[in-house]
């Protein structure tokens, strides 16, 4: 380390604690309290990265979240490496390893640097203009463009870090821990309000905390000493919470804010173990105080991007806070008084300031007078026209400005320097204000957009420099005055402070500084990260782009990870100047969250892996696991898919299960079907209105299949409903539709038919259902419940009986989704596994075969039964499904009835459900495959396959499909074109097996 760059004077850096770190593989060290940027500067490293487009060498330019250049890759671990980290924000920790981005093979020798010399060929919109044709070549171009674009590298392995979410409620949230934030928080907390103060740095006090010059005094103490005392008092207030290292990312309506709290990024790797890395705070505040401060603007002149060119206030912070000299021979270039504060700080620390170039003619103030006494040369009314130095600035060219500021006059003088501080004034940080819906107004005298107090959303206030107050006395007086009104406070200690500070006398602003060279020969950078220049903006205007939003997208100005914090104002200014518009009328681009980038980890929090979604398991789940079921996700449910035996494939298992169910007995866990208990004296009328068929005449103890439509006439859900009593039904729904069906029914009951006396209760979880089917199902039920009369007379198909298995009450329905003689046993879920095991035990002699969803699907397809959501997609009416029989023609009304004879739903060329048989019975179609009539181009798509299986009971391939005018096409030959073959199929009836339904009573 070049020790002479580190001075020993301040309280902020602990020079007793050395921290070693690596940058681009080189071992370096800094001190506790450093950021990576301050430690690099102390090691005399300015060049940290290459620019995005031209690969120009770039250095550290700021000291905060607005940094456009010094963004680095942190860490090498494939799971933990972090791209695009701002070196100015990351705190130094033992073992930190950082790398430059966007350069190859190294930051010192970067092949992409050739782009800099090609830059005349790479104007704004270069890619749009060049790679337009031939269109088919885009894929080839894209490969190279993508390869050369991008900044950091994403981790390649899953993130092992822990992230957390937390809800926070408070009376007052203060964003920003600078002097105005401190005063606001203290006034709020002292009033007894539950207050939270958030700051993105590790310390409080903003830039005032290191402002130790005696020009700035409060009650006869220098401003830093006074503020430090206030902070000490603040920290003792119990109803105040302080969150450091926390950055507010978004400010939504109703004072809902998101903030990211960094908990471990400043710790050494060993200290991080078992700790939460970041916490996303979801804050609901009654009132919000925005005290986010302002950031310094750069100045726009040719080659203003060289390493060693730093914002002047950042140079001041590096010297006053970190004790780091950013150079040995520093010049300053400014249009306002801020650079003079920097000069004072540098002068005190013994750093040579050779020259201050000020574009103003007569910038006299307390600050400039103090500088003049030190003998530092001030060139008034001058500008820098160019800079030199490739990897570090070496010299500047200075010329006199014309009176109107449009040109330069006289001779050029060159001055040597190794660091240049630039200051183009200040930009209030109004991002959060506008995110929340606030509107800005333009203040002409110093060219800033500030919150419009008449267009500020309620229950929030902006104070301090984020509200456009830049002088110490204005900041304090206005903050105290406004907070007093905002919080309804009485008199307080801050109202009569004795404040001394310098006042800026003259202002002059030139958005694009003139040069002795034509603009086409210069490189005045606006957006340092995205490499867009003032030339690009002017080109965009010449090409006809007028809206600031369009210019932004065309030139990419303000579209980097820094979101144009440094560049947007100048882009606006240059557009306004070029087009002769007032900036206030031009408006700004939209500020969108997040203010600084969020990690995906913080966004998802704990909702990863098994916590990503709820998992629902049936009461019989453990038995399925013990019996080696493979599971399928159906909504949130885990359903047995099939039960492979002895290494069977899925196909083999399903073939075996399907045969067993038809030849002897099968058993299915159907507990996931939605079950809604319906009671009330109008229950029958209610069912009449929600189902397409008639319900009033259904006898107690009988079951009926129902089809439910949307008002548009499209099939929505289906299932069997059983009448348990005079005014008592139990409805079953599809597994996936259960929650939505209940919501829909509740909606109609509450809003359209409040006169109906009906109560709905979901009992999906309370009851478990097992379905036993096959020719031996009757014998198995007989074994379990010997007392039950199972004769067809007493217990016919589509009927139900209450019964008991041992002492467990159960409902037994004789209903079938397979076409076989079958029974559904419904029991209270806590007895379900026991009853299931009894069924298995009783069925052993009949080779009872547990089957899963796949066999269930196959068996019902053999019978042509639809599955809503598989064979339907919200565009099919009952008639399209060839289910006209289920529409109650005599019913006056039901949900969707009127839509069944709209001009569109009665079209004959709608897609309709049909069966398909392949000419080759062994050929199984792919679900989703398209159906066509001929292969002559242009090929007309007639429909697609919705269900397809190889049926072991028919020994051939079967499928269901939806086909245009399908009902009329029975017997028609169609083609299913696949990637490497064409399959010939014939349209058939939808029922493939047991068309006479003989097996139901077998």
Partner 1 sequence: MFIINCPYCGERDQTEFSCGGEAHIERPKQPTELSDDQWAEYLFMRKNIKGVQFERWNHIHGCRKWFNVVRDTSNDKIHAVYKMGERPPVK
Binding footprint of partner 1 on the chain (CB under 8 A):
252-254, 256, 284, 437, 457, 711-712, 743, 746-747, 750-752, 754, 892-893, 897-899, 902-903
Instruction: Between 444 and 751, name the residue whose CB sits nearer to partner 1.
Output: 751
Instruction: Between 141 and 254, name the residue whose CB sits nearer to partner 1.
Output: 254
Tokens of residue 173, six digits: 């949230």
Radius of gyration of the chain (CA): 38
Give the up-direction half-sphere exposure of residue 172: CA atoms within 13 A in the CB hemisphere: 29
Closest distance to partner 1 from the beta carbon of 901 (Å): 9
| CB 92, CB 36: distance < 8 Å | yes
Give the up-direction half-sphere exposure of residue 214: CA atoms within 13 A in the CB hemisphere: 2
Closest distance to partner 1 from the beta carbon of 898 (Å): 4
Instruction: Between 645 and 902, name the residue whose CB sits nearer to partner 1.
Output: 902
Give the up-direction half-sphere exposure of residue 96: CA atoms within 13 A in the CB hemisphere: 33
Closest distance to partner 1 from the beta carbon of 23 (Å): 41
Quote the CA–CA distance of 486 and 184 in Å, as a whole number: 10
Q: What are the contacts of 681-687 at 24+ separation with CB within 8 A?
A: 681/727, 681/757, 682/756, 682/757, 682/758, 683/727, 683/728, 683/729, 683/758, 684/727, 684/729, 685/756, 686/745, 686/749, 686/753, 686/756, 686/758, 687/721, 687/729, 687/731
Closest distance to partner 1 from the beta carbon of 747 (Å): 6
Report which DSSP code applies to 978. -
Closest distance to partner 1 from the beta carbon of 458 (Å): 9
Quote the CA–CA distance of 195 and 197 in Å, as a whole number: 7
Closest distance to partner 1 from the beta carbon of 750 (Å): 5
Backbone angles phi, psi at 344, to 5 degrees: -65, -45
Closest distance to partner 1 from the beta carbon of 745 (Å): 11
Quote the CA–CA distance of 117 and 140 in Å, as a whole number: 24
Do β-strands 666-669 and 849-850 pair in parallel, antiparallel, or remain unpaired? parallel
Quote the CA–CA distance of 84 and 69 in Å, as a whole number: 10
Tokens of residue 977, six digits: 């074109």
Closest distance to partner 1 from the beta carbon of 717 (Å): 18
Q: What angle do CA 992, 996, 998 make, to 5 degrees?
A: 110
Instruction: Between 44 and 194, name the residue whose CB sits nearer to partner 1.
Output: 194
Instruction: Between 536 and 880, name the residue whose CB sits nearer to partner 1.
Output: 880
Tell me the DSSP string of 735-755.
TTTHHHHHHHHHHIIIII-TT
Quote the CA–CA distance of 442 and 236 in Å, as a whole number: 40
Instruction: Between 140 and 902, name the residue whose CB sits nearer to partner 1.
Output: 902
Closest distance to partner 1 from the beta carbon of 90 (Å): 30
Residue with tokens 């882009």: 571
Chain-centroid distance, C-alpha 362: 50
Instruction: Between 370 and 897, name the residue whose CB sits nearer to partner 1.
Output: 897
Backbone angles phi, psi at 239, to 5 degrees: -90, 20
Instruction: Between 438 and 558, name the residue whose CB sits nearer to partner 1.
Output: 438
Instruction: Between 578 and 757, name the residue whose CB sits nearer to partner 1.
Output: 757
Instruction: Between 616 and 897, name the residue whose CB sits nearer to partner 1.
Output: 897
Instruction: Between 203 and 256, name the residue whose CB sits nearer to partner 1.
Output: 256
Q: Which of 158, 163, 155 is CA-nearest to residue 82?
A: 155
Report which DSSP code applies to 672. T
List of E strands, 821-896? 822-828, 849-850
Per residue, the 3-state secondary structure of 493-561, as one string, reads HHHHCCEECCCCCCCCCCCCCCCCCCHHHCCEEEECCCCEEHHHHHHHHHCCCCCHHHHHHHHCCCCCC
Closest distance to partner 1 from the beta carbon of 283 (Å): 11
Closest distance to partner 1 from the beta carbon of 722 (Å): 24
Quote the CA–CA distance of 555 and 125 in Å, as a whole number: 7
Closest distance to partner 1 from the beta carbon of 246 (Å): 19
Quote the CA–CA distance of 177 and 192 in Å, as a whole number: 19
Backbone angles phi, psi at 325, to 5 degrees: -85, 125
Per residue, the 3-state secondary structure of 780-797, as one string, reads HHHHHCCCCCCCCCCCCC
Closest distance to partner 1 from the beta carbon of 167 (Å): 9
Closest distance to partner 1 from the beta carbon of 725 (Å): 25
Instruction: Between 133 and 167, name the residue whose CB sits nearer to partner 1.
Output: 167
| CB 447, CB 276: distance < 8 Å | no
Quote the CA–CA distance of 308 and 311 in Å, as a whole number: 10
Closest distance to partner 1 from the beta carbon of 556 (Å): 30
248 bridge partner residues: 259
Tokens of residue 898, six digits: 């009127």
Instruction: Between 396 and 745, name the residue whose CB sits nearer to partner 1.
Output: 745
Instruction: Between 712 and 873, name the residue whose CB sits nearer to partner 1.
Output: 712
22 bridge partner residues: 27, 97
Instruction: Between 285 and 526, name the residue whose CB sits nearer to partner 1.
Output: 285
Closest distance to partner 1 from the beta carbon of 257 (Å): 10
| CB 426, CB 420: distance < 8 Å | no
Instruction: Between 737 and 843, name the residue whose CB sits nearer to partner 1.
Output: 737
| CB 665, CB 772: distance < 8 Å | yes
Helix axes 853-863, 650-663, angle to 10 degrees: 60
Instruction: Between 275 and 606, name the residue whose CB sits nearer to partner 1.
Output: 606
Closest distance to partner 1 from the beta carbon of 916 (Å): 33
Closest distance to partner 1 from the beta carbon of 256 (Å): 5
Instruction: Between 3 and 743, name the residue whose CB sits nearer to partner 1.
Output: 743
């Amino acid at each position: 380390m070049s020790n002479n760059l580190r001075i020993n004077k301040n309280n902020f850096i602990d020079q007793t604690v050395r921290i070693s770190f690596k940058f681009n593989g080189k071992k370096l060290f800094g001190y506790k309290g450093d950021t990576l940027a301050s430690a690099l500067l102390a090691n005399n490293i300015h060049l940290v990265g290459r620019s995005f487009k031209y690969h120009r060498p770039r250095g550290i330019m700021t000291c905060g979240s607005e940094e456009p250049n010094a963004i680095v890759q942190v860490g090498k671990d494939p799971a933990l490496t972090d791209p695009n980290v701002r070196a100015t924000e990351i705190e130094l920790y033992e073992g930190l390893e950082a790398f430059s981005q966007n350069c190859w093979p190294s930051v010192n020798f970067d092949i992409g640097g050739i782009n800099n010399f090609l830059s005349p060929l790479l104007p704004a919109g270069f890619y749009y203009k060049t790679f337009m044709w031939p269109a088919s070549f885009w894929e080839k171009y894209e490969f190279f463009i993508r390869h050369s674009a991008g900044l950091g590298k994403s981790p390649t392995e899953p993130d092992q870090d822990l992230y957390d979410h937390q809800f926070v409620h408070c009376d007052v949230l203060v964003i920003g821990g600078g002097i105005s934030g401190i005063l606001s928080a203290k006034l709020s907390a002292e009033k007894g309000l539950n207050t939270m103060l958030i700051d993105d740095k590790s310390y409080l006090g903003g830039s005032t905390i290191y402002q130790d010059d005696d020009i700035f005094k409060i009650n006869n103490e220098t401003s830093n000493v006074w503020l430090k005392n206030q902070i000490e008092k603040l920290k003792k207030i119990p109803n105040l919470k302080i969150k450091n290292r926390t950055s507010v990312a978004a400010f939504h309506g109703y004072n809902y804010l998101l903030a990211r709290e960094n908990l471990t990024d400043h710790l050494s790797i060993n200290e991080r173990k078992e700790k939460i890395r970041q916490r996303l705070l979801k804050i609901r505040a009654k009132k919000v105080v925005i005290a986010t401060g302002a950031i310094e603007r750069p100045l726009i002149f040719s080659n203003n991007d060289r390493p060693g060119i730093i914002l002047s206030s950042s140079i001041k912070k590096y010297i006053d806070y970190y004790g780091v000299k950013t150079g040995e021979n520093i010049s300053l270039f400014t249009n306002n008084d801020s650079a003079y504060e920097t000069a004072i700080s540098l002068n005190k620390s013994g750093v040579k300031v050779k020259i201050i170039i000020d574009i103003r003619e007569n910038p006299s103030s307390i600050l400039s007078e103090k500088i003049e006494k030190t003998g530092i040369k001030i060139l008034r009314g001058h500008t820098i026209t160019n800079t030199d130095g490739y990897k570090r600035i070496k010299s500047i060219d200075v010329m006199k400005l014309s009176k109107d500021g449009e040109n330069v006059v006289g001779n050029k003088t060159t001055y040597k320097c190794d660091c240049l501080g630039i200051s183009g004034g200040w930009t209030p940080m109004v991002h959060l204000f506008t995110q929340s819906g606030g509107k800005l107004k333009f203040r002409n005298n110093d060219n800033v957009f500030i919150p419009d107090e008449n267009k500020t959303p309620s229950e929030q206030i902006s104070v301090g420099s984020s509200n456009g107050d830049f002088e110490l006395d204005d900041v304090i007086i206005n903050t105290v005055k406004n907070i007093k009104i905002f919080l309804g406070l009485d008199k307080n200690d801050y109202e009569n402070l004795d404040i001394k500070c310098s006042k800026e006398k003259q202002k002059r602003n030139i958005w694009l500084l003139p040069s002795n060279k034509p603009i086409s020969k210069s490189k005045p950078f606006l957006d340092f990260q995205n490499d867009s220049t003032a030339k690009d903006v002017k080109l965009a205007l010449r090409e006809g782009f007028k809206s600031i939003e369009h210019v932004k997208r065309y030139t990419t100005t303000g579209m980097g990870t820094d979101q144009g914090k440094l560049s947007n104002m100048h882009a606006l200014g240059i557009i306004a100047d070029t087009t002769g518009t007032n900036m206030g009328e031009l408006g700004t681009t939209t500020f969108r969250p997040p203010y600084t980038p969020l990690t995906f980890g913080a966004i998802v929090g704990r909702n990863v892996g098994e916590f990503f979604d709820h998992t629902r398991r049936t009461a019989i789940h453990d038995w399925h696991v013990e019996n080696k079921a493979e599971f399928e996700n159906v909504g949130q449910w885990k359903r047995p898919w099939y039960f492979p035996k002895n290494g069977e494939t899925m196909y083999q298992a399903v073939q075996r299960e399907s045969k067993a169910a038809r030849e002897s007995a099968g058993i299915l866990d159907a507990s996931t079907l939605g079950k809604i208990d319906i009671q009330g004296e109008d229950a029958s009328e209610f069912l009449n209105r929600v189902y397409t068929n008639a319900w009033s005449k259904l006898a107690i103890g009988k079951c009926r299949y129902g089809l439910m439509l949307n008002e548009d006439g499209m099939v929505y859900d289906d299932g069997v409903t059983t009448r348990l009593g005079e005014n008592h039904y139990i409805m079953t729904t599809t597994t996936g539709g259960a929650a939505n069906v209940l919501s829909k029914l509740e909606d109609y009951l509450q809003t359209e038919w409040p006169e109906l006396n009906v109560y709905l209760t979901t009992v999906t979880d309370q009851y478990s259902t097992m379905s036993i089917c096959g020719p031996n199902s009757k014998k198995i039920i007989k074994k379990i419940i010997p007392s039950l009369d199972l004769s067809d007379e007493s217990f016919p198909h589509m009927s139900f009986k209450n019964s008991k298995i041992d002492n467990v009450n159960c409902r037994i329905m004789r209903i079938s989704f397979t076409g076989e003689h079958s029974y559904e046993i419904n029991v209270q879920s806590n007895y379900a596994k026991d009853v299931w095991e009894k069924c298995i035990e009783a069925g052993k002699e009949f080779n009872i075969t547990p089957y899963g969803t796949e066999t269930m699907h196959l068996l019902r397809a053999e019978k042509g039964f639809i599955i809503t959501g598989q064979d339907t997609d919200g565009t099919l009416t009952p008639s399209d499904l060839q289910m006209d029989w289920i529409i109650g023609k005599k019913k006056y009304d039901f949900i969707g009835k009127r839509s069944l004879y709209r001009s569109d739903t009665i079209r004959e060329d709608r897609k309709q459900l049909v069966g398909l048989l392949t000419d080759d019975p062994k050929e199984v179609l792919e679900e989703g495959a398209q159906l066509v009539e001929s292969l002559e181009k242009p090929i007309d798509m007639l429909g697609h396959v919705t269900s397809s299986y190889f049926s072991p009971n028919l020994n051939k391939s079967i499928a269901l499909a939806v086909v245009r005018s399908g009902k009329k096409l029975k017997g028609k030959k169609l083609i299913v074109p696949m990637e490497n073959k064409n399959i010939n199929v014939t349209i058939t009836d939808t029922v493939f097996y047991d068309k006479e339904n003989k097996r139901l009573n077998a």
